[in-house]
Structure 1
Amino acid sequence: MPFLSKHRYPGELNDRLRDADTATAELMSEILGEACRRFPSMGQSEKTARIERLLKSEAWTDAALALIDLELPLWQVRRIAYDEGEWYCALSRERELPDWLDQSIEAHHADLALAVLTAFVDAQQLDAPSSRPSVPSVRRDVKALYQPLCCDNFA
Protein backbone atom coordinates (compact mmCIF):
# COMPACT_ATOMS: atom_id res chain seq x y z
CA MET A 1 0.00 0.00 0.00
CA PRO A 2 1.61 3.31 -1.00
CA PHE A 3 2.21 5.84 1.75
CA LEU A 4 0.16 8.62 0.15
CA SER A 5 -2.69 6.49 -1.17
CA LYS A 6 -4.99 6.97 1.82
CA HIS A 7 -5.27 9.93 4.12
CA ARG A 8 -5.56 8.58 7.65
CA TYR A 9 -5.21 10.48 10.84
CA PRO A 10 -1.89 9.83 12.58
CA GLY A 11 -3.34 8.08 15.62
CA GLU A 12 -5.15 5.36 13.64
CA LEU A 13 -2.09 3.15 13.31
CA ASN A 14 -1.35 3.63 17.02
CA ASP A 15 -4.91 2.57 17.82
CA ARG A 16 -4.50 -0.59 15.71
CA LEU A 17 -1.24 -1.40 17.50
CA ARG A 18 -2.77 -0.79 20.92
CA ASP A 19 -5.82 -2.94 20.18
CA ALA A 20 -3.85 -5.85 18.67
CA ASP A 21 -3.03 -8.86 20.83
CA THR A 22 0.04 -9.99 18.91
CA ALA A 23 1.98 -8.91 15.86
CA THR A 24 0.85 -10.44 12.59
CA ALA A 25 1.99 -10.35 8.99
CA GLU A 26 -1.01 -8.18 8.10
CA LEU A 27 -0.19 -5.65 10.81
CA MET A 28 3.48 -5.56 9.80
CA SER A 29 2.60 -4.95 6.16
CA GLU A 30 0.28 -2.14 7.24
CA ILE A 31 3.11 -0.54 9.23
CA LEU A 32 5.48 -0.93 6.29
CA GLY A 33 2.94 0.67 3.98
CA GLU A 34 1.94 3.58 6.18
CA ALA A 35 4.89 4.45 8.40
CA CYS A 36 8.00 3.45 6.46
CA ARG A 37 9.46 5.87 3.96
CA ARG A 38 12.77 4.09 3.33
CA PHE A 39 11.56 0.51 2.98
CA PRO A 40 12.40 -0.97 0.49
CA SER A 41 15.57 1.04 0.22
CA MET A 42 17.65 0.80 -2.92
CA GLY A 43 20.78 2.20 -1.28
CA GLN A 44 20.57 -0.09 1.74
CA SER A 45 19.61 -3.37 0.14
CA GLU A 46 21.41 -5.37 2.85
CA LYS A 47 19.23 -3.90 5.62
CA THR A 48 16.10 -4.27 3.51
CA ALA A 49 16.90 -7.92 2.75
CA ARG A 50 17.48 -8.58 6.47
CA ILE A 51 14.09 -7.09 7.34
CA GLU A 52 12.41 -9.19 4.66
CA ARG A 53 14.07 -12.35 6.03
CA LEU A 54 12.92 -11.49 9.55
CA LEU A 55 9.38 -10.87 8.36
CA LYS A 56 9.28 -14.20 6.49
CA SER A 57 10.46 -16.03 9.60
CA GLU A 58 7.91 -14.09 11.74
CA ALA A 59 10.60 -12.65 14.01
CA TRP A 60 8.48 -9.61 14.74
CA THR A 61 10.59 -8.05 17.51
CA ASP A 62 13.82 -8.36 15.54
CA ALA A 63 12.06 -6.95 12.47
CA ALA A 64 10.80 -3.99 14.50
CA LEU A 65 14.31 -3.29 15.80
CA ALA A 66 15.69 -3.56 12.25
CA LEU A 67 13.03 -1.10 11.06
CA ILE A 68 14.16 1.39 13.69
CA ASP A 69 17.72 0.97 12.43
CA LEU A 70 16.68 1.54 8.81
CA GLU A 71 13.97 4.18 9.14
CA LEU A 72 15.18 6.18 12.15
CA PRO A 73 18.98 6.20 12.05
CA LEU A 74 19.18 9.02 14.63
CA TRP A 75 17.05 7.12 17.18
CA GLN A 76 18.26 4.34 19.46
CA VAL A 77 16.61 1.98 21.89
CA ARG A 78 17.08 3.51 25.32
CA ARG A 79 15.29 0.92 27.43
CA ILE A 80 13.28 -2.26 27.11
CA ALA A 81 11.77 -3.48 30.36
CA TYR A 82 9.09 -5.89 31.52
CA ASP A 83 6.96 -4.95 34.53
CA GLU A 84 3.65 -6.38 35.76
CA GLY A 85 2.67 -8.03 32.49
CA GLU A 86 3.64 -5.12 30.21
CA TRP A 87 6.66 -4.52 28.01
CA TYR A 88 8.00 -0.97 28.03
CA CYS A 89 10.10 0.40 25.19
CA ALA A 90 11.80 3.80 25.12
CA LEU A 91 13.47 5.29 22.05
CA SER A 92 15.79 8.25 22.30
CA ARG A 93 18.00 10.46 20.20
CA GLU A 94 20.35 11.16 23.10
CA ARG A 95 20.73 7.85 24.89
CA GLU A 96 23.70 8.98 26.97
CA LEU A 97 21.77 11.74 28.73
CA PRO A 98 20.22 11.06 32.14
CA ASP A 99 16.54 10.03 32.09
CA TRP A 100 15.36 13.33 33.49
CA LEU A 101 17.07 15.32 30.70
CA ASP A 102 16.19 13.07 27.81
CA GLN A 103 13.05 13.52 25.72
CA SER A 104 12.39 9.94 24.78
CA ILE A 105 9.44 8.24 23.14
CA GLU A 106 7.94 5.63 25.44
CA ALA A 107 5.41 2.94 24.61
CA HIS A 108 4.05 -0.12 26.37
CA HIS A 109 2.13 -3.23 25.39
CA ALA A 110 1.65 -6.78 26.63
CA ASP A 111 3.52 -8.02 23.52
CA LEU A 112 7.19 -7.03 23.15
CA ALA A 113 7.05 -6.63 19.37
CA LEU A 114 4.00 -4.36 19.60
CA ALA A 115 5.62 -2.23 22.30
CA VAL A 116 8.66 -1.69 20.06
CA LEU A 117 6.47 -1.05 17.01
CA THR A 118 4.33 1.47 18.89
CA ALA A 119 7.43 3.38 19.96
CA PHE A 120 8.69 3.20 16.36
CA VAL A 121 5.45 4.62 14.93
CA ASP A 122 5.40 7.40 17.55
CA ALA A 123 9.00 8.36 16.76
CA GLN A 124 8.29 8.16 13.03
CA GLN A 125 5.37 10.57 13.41
CA LEU A 126 7.51 12.91 15.48
CA ASP A 127 10.28 12.83 12.86
CA ALA A 128 7.90 13.24 9.90
CA PRO A 129 8.42 16.45 7.99
CA SER A 130 5.54 18.80 8.52
CA SER A 131 4.17 20.70 5.58
CA ARG A 132 4.19 24.25 6.84
CA PRO A 133 3.93 27.33 4.66
CA SER A 134 6.96 29.56 4.39
CA VAL A 135 4.92 32.49 5.69
CA PRO A 136 3.15 32.03 9.04
CA SER A 137 -0.60 32.39 9.03
CA VAL A 138 -2.88 34.13 11.50
CA ARG A 139 -5.68 32.29 13.23
CA ARG A 140 -9.06 33.15 11.74
CA ASP A 141 -11.35 32.25 14.63
CA VAL A 142 -12.72 35.74 15.30
CA LYS A 143 -15.19 36.06 18.15
CA ALA A 144 -18.66 37.48 17.49
CA LEU A 145 -18.03 40.39 19.85
CA TYR A 146 -14.66 41.23 18.34
CA GLN A 147 -14.11 44.93 17.61
CA PRO A 148 -10.82 46.33 16.37
CA LEU A 149 -9.38 49.02 18.58
CA CYS A 150 -6.91 51.71 17.60
CA CYS A 151 -4.42 52.32 20.38
CA ASP A 152 -2.11 54.86 18.72
CA ASN A 153 -1.39 58.06 20.55
CA PHE A 154 -2.09 60.98 18.17
CA ALA A 155 -1.23 63.70 20.69
Structure 2
Amino acid sequence: MWPKQNLERDLRSLLRRIETTCQPTGSLVADVLQYACPRLKSGIQPHDLVQRLIGAEAWVDLGFWLIGWELPDWVIHRLSCDDSRWNCAICVRGLAINWVEDVAEFQHDNPALAIFGALVQAQLQKAQGRAPSNVTAFRRRNRSGAASMTHGVER
Protein backbone atom coordinates (compact mmCIF):
# COMPACT_ATOMS: atom_id res chain seq x y z
CA MET A 1 0.00 0.00 0.00
CA TRP A 2 1.21 3.54 -0.74
CA PRO A 3 2.42 5.72 2.16
CA LYS A 4 -0.39 8.27 1.63
CA GLN A 5 -2.99 5.51 1.76
CA ASN A 6 -1.36 4.11 4.90
CA LEU A 7 -1.48 7.56 6.50
CA GLU A 8 -5.15 8.00 5.61
CA ARG A 9 -5.94 4.55 6.99
CA ASP A 10 -4.04 5.27 10.22
CA LEU A 11 -5.77 8.63 10.68
CA ARG A 12 -9.23 7.10 10.08
CA SER A 13 -8.44 4.36 12.58
CA LEU A 14 -7.29 6.97 15.09
CA LEU A 15 -10.54 8.94 14.59
CA ARG A 16 -12.54 5.78 15.33
CA ARG A 17 -10.52 5.23 18.52
CA ILE A 18 -11.15 8.80 19.62
CA GLU A 19 -14.88 8.42 18.93
CA THR A 20 -15.18 5.26 21.01
CA THR A 21 -13.13 6.21 24.06
CA CYS A 22 -14.50 8.07 27.08
CA GLN A 23 -11.41 10.02 28.10
CA PRO A 24 -7.85 10.57 26.91
CA THR A 25 -5.28 7.94 27.85
CA GLY A 26 -1.52 7.84 27.51
CA SER A 27 -1.86 5.26 24.75
CA LEU A 28 -4.31 7.34 22.75
CA VAL A 29 -2.23 10.50 23.12
CA ALA A 30 0.88 8.57 22.03
CA ASP A 31 -0.97 7.52 18.87
CA VAL A 32 -2.13 11.09 18.21
CA LEU A 33 1.50 12.21 18.45
CA GLN A 34 2.63 9.29 16.26
CA TYR A 35 0.12 9.61 13.42
CA ALA A 36 -1.21 13.19 13.47
CA CYS A 37 1.90 15.19 14.41
CA PRO A 38 4.54 14.99 11.66
CA ARG A 39 5.98 18.46 12.44
CA LEU A 40 6.53 17.53 16.08
CA LYS A 41 8.15 14.23 15.11
CA SER A 42 10.60 15.97 12.78
CA GLY A 43 12.49 17.49 15.72
CA ILE A 44 15.56 15.89 17.24
CA GLN A 45 13.99 15.56 20.68
CA PRO A 46 10.50 15.93 22.07
CA HIS A 47 9.44 19.44 22.87
CA ASP A 48 9.78 20.02 26.63
CA LEU A 49 6.36 21.65 26.89
CA VAL A 50 4.70 18.62 25.26
CA GLN A 51 6.32 16.32 27.81
CA ARG A 52 5.20 18.55 30.70
CA LEU A 53 1.63 18.71 29.40
CA ILE A 54 1.56 14.93 29.01
CA GLY A 55 2.96 14.46 32.52
CA ALA A 56 0.32 16.78 33.96
CA GLU A 57 -2.42 15.14 31.85
CA ALA A 58 -3.32 18.63 30.63
CA TRP A 59 -5.04 17.20 27.56
CA VAL A 60 -7.03 20.30 26.53
CA ASP A 61 -3.92 22.50 26.68
CA LEU A 62 -1.95 19.85 24.79
CA GLY A 63 -4.63 19.73 22.08
CA PHE A 64 -4.60 23.51 21.67
CA TRP A 65 -0.80 23.55 21.52
CA LEU A 66 -0.67 20.72 18.97
CA ILE A 67 -3.14 22.49 16.68
CA GLY A 68 -0.99 25.62 16.81
CA TRP A 69 2.21 23.66 16.16
CA GLU A 70 1.02 21.14 13.59
CA LEU A 71 -1.37 23.44 11.73
CA PRO A 72 0.23 26.90 12.04
CA ASP A 73 -2.09 28.47 9.48
CA TRP A 74 -5.22 27.07 11.16
CA VAL A 75 -7.16 28.56 14.08
CA ILE A 76 -9.77 27.26 16.46
CA HIS A 77 -13.01 28.60 15.07
CA ARG A 78 -15.31 27.21 17.75
CA LEU A 79 -15.18 25.15 20.93
CA SER A 80 -18.63 24.85 22.40
CA CYS A 81 -20.72 22.53 24.52
CA ASP A 82 -24.31 21.77 23.60
CA ASP A 83 -26.37 19.16 25.46
CA SER A 84 -23.22 17.81 27.18
CA ARG A 85 -21.52 17.25 23.82
CA TRP A 86 -18.40 19.25 22.94
CA ASN A 87 -17.88 20.51 19.41
CA CYS A 88 -14.46 21.68 18.19
CA ALA A 89 -14.15 23.30 14.77
CA ILE A 90 -10.86 24.51 13.29
CA CYS A 91 -10.28 26.27 9.99
CA VAL A 92 -7.53 27.91 7.96
CA ARG A 93 -6.77 31.40 9.28
CA GLY A 94 -8.14 34.20 7.15
CA LEU A 95 -10.47 32.09 5.01
CA ALA A 96 -14.13 32.89 4.98
CA ILE A 97 -15.93 29.78 6.12
CA ASN A 98 -18.27 29.21 3.23
CA TRP A 99 -17.87 25.52 2.64
CA VAL A 100 -17.90 22.44 4.80
CA GLU A 101 -14.52 21.43 3.33
CA ASP A 102 -12.88 24.52 4.86
CA VAL A 103 -13.55 23.28 8.40
CA ALA A 104 -12.34 20.28 10.37
CA GLU A 105 -14.95 19.54 12.99
CA PHE A 106 -15.34 16.87 15.65
CA GLN A 107 -17.83 16.21 18.44
CA HIS A 108 -17.30 14.27 21.65
CA ASP A 109 -18.52 14.13 25.26
CA ASN A 110 -14.98 15.01 26.42
CA PRO A 111 -13.59 18.45 25.43
CA ALA A 112 -10.00 17.20 25.02
CA LEU A 113 -11.13 14.39 22.73
CA ALA A 114 -13.17 16.86 20.67
CA ILE A 115 -9.98 18.92 20.20
CA PHE A 116 -7.82 15.88 19.38
CA GLY A 117 -10.51 14.67 16.97
CA ALA A 118 -10.58 18.01 15.14
CA LEU A 119 -6.77 17.91 14.84
CA VAL A 120 -6.84 14.39 13.40
CA GLN A 121 -9.75 15.30 11.09
CA ALA A 122 -7.77 18.28 9.75
CA GLN A 123 -4.71 16.10 9.16
CA LEU A 124 -6.89 13.57 7.33
CA GLN A 125 -8.34 16.32 5.12
CA LYS A 126 -4.80 17.54 4.37
CA ALA A 127 -3.67 13.99 3.54
CA GLN A 128 -6.60 13.67 1.13
CA GLY A 129 -5.72 17.03 -0.46
CA ARG A 130 -9.03 18.59 0.56
CA ALA A 131 -7.78 21.14 3.09
CA PRO A 132 -6.36 24.47 1.99
CA SER A 133 -3.01 25.38 3.49
CA ASN A 134 -0.18 27.77 2.87
CA VAL A 135 2.37 25.95 5.02
CA THR A 136 4.71 23.34 3.55
CA ALA A 137 4.68 20.10 5.49
CA PHE A 138 7.90 18.84 7.01
CA ARG A 139 9.28 15.64 5.59
CA ARG A 140 9.59 12.74 7.97
CA ARG A 141 13.12 11.51 8.42
CA ASN A 142 14.15 8.53 10.45
CA ARG A 143 17.24 9.41 12.40
CA SER A 144 19.15 7.02 14.55
CA GLY A 145 19.42 8.52 17.98
CA ALA A 146 16.42 10.79 17.56
CA ALA A 147 14.17 10.73 20.58
CA SER A 148 10.79 9.11 20.24
CA MET A 149 7.80 11.40 20.74
CA THR A 150 6.09 8.73 22.78
CA HIS A 151 8.94 8.59 25.31
CA GLY A 152 7.41 9.10 28.71
CA VAL A 153 3.89 8.24 27.62
CA GLU A 154 2.74 4.92 28.98
CA ARG A 155 0.98 2.57 26.61
TM-score (norm 2): 0.69
Matching of residues 64-103 of structure 1 within 5 Å: 64-94=63-93, 97=96, 99-100=97-98, 103=102
* 1:15 maps to 2:16: yes
Q: Tell me, what secondary structure is at the counterpart of 1:42?
A: coil
Q: Is the 8 A contact 1:78 1:95 kept in 2?
A: no
Cα distance in 1 for residues equivalent to 2:19 and 2:95: 29
Cα distance in 2 for residues equivalent to 1:17 and 1:32: 13
Per-residue deviation, 1:104: 1.2
Per-residue deviation, 1:11: 1.4
| 2:30 alignment partner in structure 1 | 29
Q: Gapped runs of 5+ residues in structure 2?
A: 130-155
Give the root-mean-square deviation of aligned CA atoms: 2.4
- Which amino acid is 1:36 matched to? C
- Which amino acid is 1:75 matched to? W
Q: Which has the higher helix share?
A: 2
- Which amino acid is 2:33 matched to? L
- What is the number of residues matched between the two proteins? 122
User: 1:53-107: CA deviations, max 9, x gaps?
Assistant: 101110011101111111111111000000001001000104563x546721111
Q: Tell me, what secondary structure is at the counterpart of 1:58?
A: coil
Cα distance in 1 for residues equivalent to 2:105 and 2:26: 24
Q: Which has the higher contact order (CA 8 A, sep 6+)?
A: 2
Q: Is the 8 A contact 2:86 2:108 kept in 1?
A: yes
Cα distance in 2 for residues equivalent to 1:89 and 1:95: 18
Q: Tell me, what secondary structure is at the counterpart of 1:38?
A: helix
Q: Is the 8 A contact 1:64 1:116 kept in 2?
A: yes
- Could you list the structure 1 runs, at least 4 aligned residues long, displaced by more than 6 angstroms after superposition: none
| Structure number with larger C-alpha Rg | 1
| 2:119 alignment partner in structure 1 | 120
Q: Is the 8 A contact 1:41 1:48 kept in 2?
A: no
Q: Is the 8 A contact 1:23 1:114 kept in 2?
A: yes
| 2:56 alignment partner in structure 1 | 57
User: 1:83-135: CA deviations, max 9, x gaps?
Assistant: 001001000104563x54672111100000000000000101112376xxxxx
Q: Tell me, what secondary structure is at the counterpart of 1:80?
A: strand
User: 1:15-69: CA deviations, max 9, x gaps?
Assistant: 00000000111100011111210124538x7x92211110111001110111111
TM-score (norm 1): 0.69
Q: Tell me, what secondary structure is at the counterpart of 2:40?
A: coil
